[in-house]
Amino acid sequence: MDFTQLLQNMTNGVAKGSCYALVAVGYTMVYGVLQLINFAHSDVYMLGAYFAYWPAKWMGYLPDEKGGRAQDVPLALVGLFVVGSMAACAAVGALIERAAYRPLRHSGRLAPLITAIGVSLLLEYGGQMVFGTEPRLFPTFVEAQSYDVAGVKFANTSIIIVVTAAVLMGALTLFVNHTRQGRALRAVSHSFNNARLMGINVNATITMTFMLGSSLAAVGGILVAMDQPTITPLMGLRMGLKAFVAAVLGGIGSIPGAALGGLLLGVSESVVAYWSTTYSEAVAFLILIGVLLVRPAGILGSSAREKV
Amino acid sequence: MSALLAADQLTMRFGGLTAVKEFSCAIESGELFGLIGPNGAGKTTVFNLLTGVYRPSSGTVTFAQSDITGQPPPSIAARGMSRTFQNIRLFDELSALENVMAGAHLRGNINLFDALLRTGRHAREEKRQRDWAYKLLAFMGLEERAGLAAKHLPYGDRRKLEIARALATEPKLICLDEPAAGMNPSEKQGLAQLIRRIRDQLHVTVLLIEHDMQLVMGLCERIVVLDHGETIACGKPRDIQSDARVIEAYLGVADG
Amino acid sequence: MARNLLVMLGLLAGCYGFNFVMAEFIEVVYVDYINLCGLAIILAVGLNVINGLAGQFSLGHAGFMSVGAFAGAYASIMLTYGVIESGPLSFVSMGSFLLCLALSGLSAAAVGALVGAPTLRLKGDYLAIATLGFAEITRIVLTAQDAIGGPTGLKRIPKMPLLPGSEKWDGGTSTFWIYAFVCLVILLSVNLQRSTFGRALICVRENELAAETMGVRASRMKIMAFVYGAFFAGIAGCLYAHYQHSVRPDDFTTVRSIEVVVMLVLGGLGSLTGAVVGAVIVTLLPQFLRPLEESLGLSGLSMVVYAALLLLMMLFRPQGIFGQRELSLKLLRRLVPGGGKESRP
């Protein structure tokens, strides 16, 4: 067994897992407050990548048709593109919640679930209509480099991914635990009605939840796009399923759980990929079913019992 | 002669909370037995333990001479114990008649192929269920409501329909969880008579949870009183009424 | 039961006539639409028993279909040619075909029981996501099998068997075979739905705990629903494979499963009539939108319309076109003015 290769796979897994975690947070927060699998979340992630792609393209940071190599995007502009994409995705997330989910909030659980699937299809294929079906090369936000440590390669993009994810997740945790709005979020996910009785603006809090999750998904989309480096309108499909699995694995509703679940899933996939890349695609689903059967509340979640 | 239903030292813990502690009772065949206690005393938990919804942390349940502790609800229903729910659980989309027929499904003897191919056996079973269900609806005074969807029935009728559905399983013992909740005094009167007729005419033993003291005292032959999960008294209504601990549980300790 | 057999024989004769009319008078494109509708109906009516009657939200129907498709296609190729290699297509014999269909249905049903059993404890969206996971695992496992062609799948799957007098039909006998099973699944599902079993399934859907305390073994009922739905998904898969003459694991992605669920939701979850109507709409809609899509150069348009339709449906009529009602003589009579005599007690 080639341990260097295995170690290499595991380090790649950590980077992949960090992206899962960023997207998983959105699933877990929305599920926490609405008990809804927001299928459209992974398409907001896709939009995040496109929202950063378009301004870069307009400003000429992409290879032109003649195949000439485009220059790298300056760091200040990268920051601007990322923040712009986060803001745009936050707006999209809020819009989805307002237009599609809020009208159905009191009509059982099936209708919102179907609606979520509908919104997801709408964004995926609407994306195909607007952006075209072919994969697009993502602009060079960072010049690719890699550092060799004892035979294991560390790509600078991977390091950026892990650091960015860690910083954002940390900031989110601080926000949720130590601010007024964060407290409102926790109250709403604990009980809708009680929160309302305590004078918390439930609608505003839910909108905020969608905006937070969507902006983190946007960053996830950009990071993955930098790493790949192509993007397509259907790139959210696989990411969505896996990020959701990460959320379930960590314990749905729990933000540290999403981080933990994302990392565990990323690393397990990469380790299995050492033997078979085909079966590494199945890892997420095996984990999902395993978790649901053995401990549906996930690693860090807590379960509630139906009152008889 | 041994009891129809015997609970022995039943205990149920949820995490650190002991909802029911060492509950014991023995109900004879043909009895009208009451289970009372203040809110949160653990009455419904006892029902859930007896009917297999919860598995007790310790203790045993014996029904008709066999140990049924920890058996799933369908097996317990098949042995002849049926129940209603405090928060009514009807099959809302089905009609009143179909709700009762669903209860009768248990005693049917057909397989999937009879159903898929509509064999004669299935037709006979369908007729048996229908006739039996009509009979029970009439018994409960609901024959006018047969075709109405359960969700459209008025509150009192929903409670009665649940009893009819439970009776359709042809039980030896029926457990009624606050059947009179939300009814007015005259409705309660009618219900009390109905419960007595269930015992007298259908020969079904009745175990009753009820809040209305007057109803329980007038109806039940023996009563057990729970408070904070513990049995504080057991006996005839007259003894219960004068029991100091019962009065204390219901009214609080008198000062001075 | 005898009446049922007679009805089925009559329907088979009808299917033969239908196929004859298709072969003689209808353009090939439209015949294709009609056949695709038939396959969709088999899938949707089967899934309606799981999702509609038993109320178990399964999102993995494509998985069952793929098992049936590969089992049936592989058996058919082996029984007809003996080897997997390229060459002209020929007809599978009647006996072999029936054997393949049985194999497809049973293998899919076995997988259905396998999926149904462990996921019984899950409810609602958790069940949905678990069944979706199972379907994806099935697809990945199929992709990894070199014996059935790996990612490229099976090709040169024989044509469906000839019928007496069908030699000159250009389009073959697919319409007959597909619609024979459409009739079968509808007939059996109507019987099931109206039976005491069907009522027990609905009880599980309406209130599982109450059903259990009334003696209905909810787990057994749910597995039965899964087995039934999966069986017909397997049959549909086998028919699909023989109809297309090729199958790939990627024919059975999550999008496919979602499509079948959308058919049910559109028609009205729990209504058999709704399932049929939903299947037809969801199959035909993209076919008619595609010319528009191509002329505008907007790929994805048909799916966008489809998604928008779904969203509007959820907003304005979440119970679907039919709700839980069925198209029956009674309903027809009520729709005709003065035709229905409503008796109210």
Q: Quick count: other Cβ atoms within 10 Å of Cβ C99? A: 16
Chain B residue with Cα closest to A304: B14
> In the predicted model, what is the mean pLDDT of residues A25-31?
93
Contact yes or no for B207/B27 (Cβ under 8 A): yes
Q: Report the residue of chain A nearest B52, measured CA to CA.
A: A308
Q: Do β-strands B32-36 and B205-209 pair in parallel, antiparallel, or remain unpaired?
A: parallel
Q: Which of residues 45-74 of A touch C (CB under 8 A)?
A: none
Does residue A250 sit within a domain?
A: no
CB nearest C213 (choices: B51, B90, B108): B51
On whether any CB of chain A is under 8 Å from the CB of B66, the answer is: no
pLDDT (tens digit per residue) in C186-239:
999 999 999 999 999 999 999 999 999 999 999 999 999 999 999 999 999 999
> Is the predicted pLDDT of residue C122 greater than 90, yes or no?
no
Answer yes or no: do A289 and C57 touch at CB < 8 A: no
Subunits next to A (3 or more Cβ pairs <8 Å) are B, C
What confidence tens digit (pLDDT) does each residue in A244-254 have? 999 999 998 88
Q: What is the pLDDT of residue A235?
A: 93
Residues A204, A108: contact at Cβ < 8 Å? Answer: no
Instruction: Give me the residues of chain B with pLDDT under 50, please.
Output: 1, 256
pTM of the model: 0.90
Helix axes of A3-34 and A255-273: crossing angle, nearest 10 degrees: 150
pLDDT of residue C342: 37
Q: What is the pLDDT of residues C251-295, one digit of tens each?
A: 999 889 999 999 999 898 889 999 999 999 999 988 888 888 888
Query: Does residue B46 sit at the A interface (CB-CB below 8 Å)?
Result: no
A287 in a domain, yes or no?
Answer: no
A212 CA: distance to closest CA in chain B (Å): 35
The predicted pLDDT at position C51 comes to: 93
Segment A175-196 shows an average pLDDT of 89
Mutate to test the interface with B, among C120, C213, C219 (most CBs of B within 10 A): C213
List, in order, residues 6 or more apart from C78 with CB less than 8 Å away: none
Secondary structure of residue C235 in the 3-state scheme? helix
> Considering the domain boundaries, does residue A216 fall inside one?
yes
In this structure, are residues B229 and B46 in contact, taking their beta carbons and an 8 Å threshold?
Answer: no
Which residues lie below 8 Å from residue C335, measured CB to CB, with a gap of 6+?
none
User: pLDDT tier at A52 (50, 70, 90 boundaries)?
Assistant: very high
Within the 100-139 window of chain A, which residues sit less than 8 Å (CB to CB) from chain C? Answer: 100, 103-104, 107, 109-111, 113-115, 117-119, 121-122, 124-129, 132-133
Which residues of A, range 17-46, sit inside 8 Å of C by Cβ? 35-37
Please write the tens of the pLDDT for every residue from C68-118: 999 999 999 999 888 777 667 888 888 999 999 999 999 999 999 988 888
Q: For an interface test with C, which of B116, B128, B145 has the most C Cβ atoms less than 10 Å from its Cβ?
A: B116
Q: In chain A, what are the helix, strand and coil shares in percent, each to the nearest 5?
A: 70, 5, 25
Instruction: Check CB contact of B85 with chain A, cutoff 8 Å.
Output: yes
Q: Which chains would you list as touching B if contact means 3+ CB atom pairs under 8 Å?
A: A, C
The pLDDT assigned to C341 comes to 38
Domain count, chain A: 1
Cβ–Cβ under 8 Å, residues B203 and B149: no
Please report whether residue A83 resides in a domain: yes
Cβ pair A293, C118 in contact under 8 A:
yes
Q: Domain for residue A241, yes or no?
A: no
CB of A275 within 8 Å of a chain C CB? The answer is: no
Contacts of A110 in chain C (CB under 8 A): 57, 124, 269
Is B105–C216 a contact, with Cβ atoms under 8 angstroms apart? yes
Residue C335, pLDDT > 70, answer no
Closest residue in chain A to residue C313, using alpha carbons only: A115
pLDDT tier at A191, thresholds 50, 70, 90: confident
* Least confident piece of the model among A143-152, A209-218, A276-285, C170-179: A143-152
Angle between helix axes C61-80 and C94-119 (nearest 10 degrees) is 150
The domain of A68 spans 26-235
Residue of A nearest to B86 (CA): A308
Q: Give every CB contact of residue A141 below 8 A, 6+ residues apart in sequence.
A: A72, A73, A78, A81, A222, A226
Closest alpha carbon within chain A to B48: A308
Is C200 in Cβ contact with B118 (below 8 Å)?
A: no
Q: Name the residue among B193, B149, B180, B169 with its Cα closest to residue B100.
A: B169
**pLDDT, tens digit, 9 for 90 and up, residues A216-239:** 999 999 999 998 888 999 999 889
**Chain B positions in Cβ-Cβ contact with residue A307 (cut-off 8 Å):** 87
The shortest CB-CB distance from B116 to any of C192, C200, C345 is to: C192
Residue of A nearest to B45 (CA): A308
Q: Does A69 touch chain B (CB under 8 A)?
A: no
Best C59, C61, C123, C125 member to test A by mutation, with max A CBs in 10 Å, is: C125
Complex ipTM value: 0.90
A-to-B residue pairs, Cβ atoms closer than 8 angstroms: 6
At C338 the pLDDT is 45
The pair of three-digit structure tokens given for residue A288, joined into one six-digit string: 């999902």
